[in-house]
Amino acid sequence: MRLARSLLAASLAAALATPALAEVPIDVIGDTEIYFDALLHFDAYQYDQNISRADGLALTAGQLTANTLTNNGQFRRGEMILRGKTPTAEWQIGYDTVGSRGTGRNGRWLDVSWKGRINADWSYRLGQFKQPNSLEELTSTKNNEFISKAMVTNAYGLSRRVGAEIQYATPSITATGTWFTREINVAQRVGDGWGTRLTWAPIQDTQAGEALHFGISAVQFDAENNRYSLSSRPQADITNVNTVTATLSDADSTRILGLEGMYYRGPFKVMGEYFRADTDRLGAAPDYSTDGWYVSTLYTLSDDLFGYRGGLYTTATPTDPVKGLWQLAARYDRLDANDGAVFGGAQSAFTVGANWYIRSNFRLSLNYVMVESERVQSGVLINNDPNIVELRGQITI
């Protein structure tokens, strides 16, 4: 942890001393340009707790302890990334010094990959990288409009795995296929599988700041040691309480289908995704199916426009560094993990928020989240319906 603190402090000092840049050039070696960039998040949460039993009886001490959310604040991310770019390829090595979900457990490796260009439309990638099954997950975290990603993104987005990728990309169409295995990080996501994603943007007008996007994705992966788990926190990443959770010990493989759509014009953007996961089980047990979705809207209080490239959107940097860039956002999302005899729980949340981009290096975010969740625990239906005030400070280099 001493190394993590030193790196975080050095990055903070660099951000304060550096002009508004997306990345800091370090050197040029041969035909390779080398850059460094970083992403720091500090999150704070304040909970208005509301826990009850559906049968009206008093909560036991164990039930209260298992569902109580504790006010807290700490570093959520401390990502340090070294990049190299040549005329035909690029590579990156990324490491999060804070660790998974702000736990600080030995940090974790991010993208560690090499991407080469075959021609103008085709490229390949090798190493550890995000798998192609979620628009929100694939979009850079620094551009996500909410402090916590949607429940379905956290539950179904496969994130990073070691593997190989081939991609066809034009301004309006992308087609991506991957084969993957486990993560580099120890004791985290494992199980061999494949992924694919197809996107189409029938409307794309850079000058008018308008784009219409559709996408479909599918992944399938084996269950390591016959285990499959699904969980979701109450839209608060650094809490230890899972309001939705289910674990199978007889799983064979899981397939996740995703549908996505997005439209923006000028200052307004609307986006949504739907996911369905089907887990094949061993023996006579029926398959386990879950699903969830979200829809979000965003309004920018300036003339700064969104961008679109490679099947993903980007947020503009403020044209006025004094006023910065203001955004107002709202989202509704739902996740249902109950199926047959498996009572993983169900949860919905409504989130409103505001973001203030100061220059291109700093962002302050404020969210208010209203959560409704229910889950069977020890044969009793427990309702956990907190209201949450969330604050994030973001520094990018």
Q: Give 173-229 pLDDT, tens digit per residue.
A: 999 999 999 998 876 677 899 999 999 999 999 888 999 999 999 999 999 889 999
How many Å separate Cα 263 from the centre of its chain?
20
In the predicted structure, residue 2 carries a pLDDT above the cut 50: no
Report whether pLDDT(323) > 60: yes
Residue 321: per-residue pLDDT? 76
Q: Tens of pLDDT along 285-308?
A: 899 999 999 999 999 998 888 889
Q: Decide if pLDDT at 48 tops 90.
A: yes
* Residue 4: pLDDT over 50: no
pLDDT band at 143 (very low <50, low <70, confident <90, very high): confident
Contact criterion met (CB below 8 Å) for 172 and 211: no
The pLDDT tens digits of the residues spanning 86-130 come to: 999 999 999 999 876 544 456 889 999 999 999 999 999 999 999
CATH of the domain at 304: 2.40.160.10
Give the DSSP H/E element, type plus range, for residue 200.
strand 193-205
Joined together, the tokens standing for residue 139 give: 């979009």
Q: Which domain holds residue 259?
A: 2-396
- What's the whole-model pTM score? 0.90
pLDDT in tens, 332-388: 999 999 999 999 999 999 999 999 998 778 999 999 999 999 999 888 999 999 999
Contact criterion met (CB below 8 Å) for 251 and 279: yes
Query: Measured between alpha carbons, how far is 343 from 99 in angstroms, rounded to an integer?
Result: 30
Check: CB of residue 229 under 8 Å from CB of residue 248: yes
Is residue 16's pLDDT more than 70? Answer: no
Does position 67 have pLDDT exceeding 50, yes or no? yes
Indicate the Cα dihedral angle 121, 124, 128, 131, nearest 10°: 50
> Which is more confident, 51 or 103?
51
Is residue 236 within 8 Å of 70, Cβ to Cβ?
no
pLDDT of 217-240, one tens digit each?
999 999 988 999 999 999 988 888
What single DSSP character describes residue 224? Answer: G
- Which pLDDT value is given to residue 11? 43
Q: What is the mean pLDDT of residues 236-250?
A: 91
Do 39 and 79 meet the contact criterion of CB atoms below 8 Å apart?
yes
pLDDT score for 356: 93
> What pLDDT does 101 receive?
57
Query: Considering only CA atoms, which of 269, 166, 272 is closest in space to residue 215?
Result: 272
pLDDT in tens, 19-37: 444 678 888 988 999 999 9
Mean pLDDT of 248-252: 94
Domain count across the chain: 1
The residue among 221, 340, 330, 211 whose CA lies nearest residue 277 is 221
Closest CA to 229 of 246, 243, 244: 246
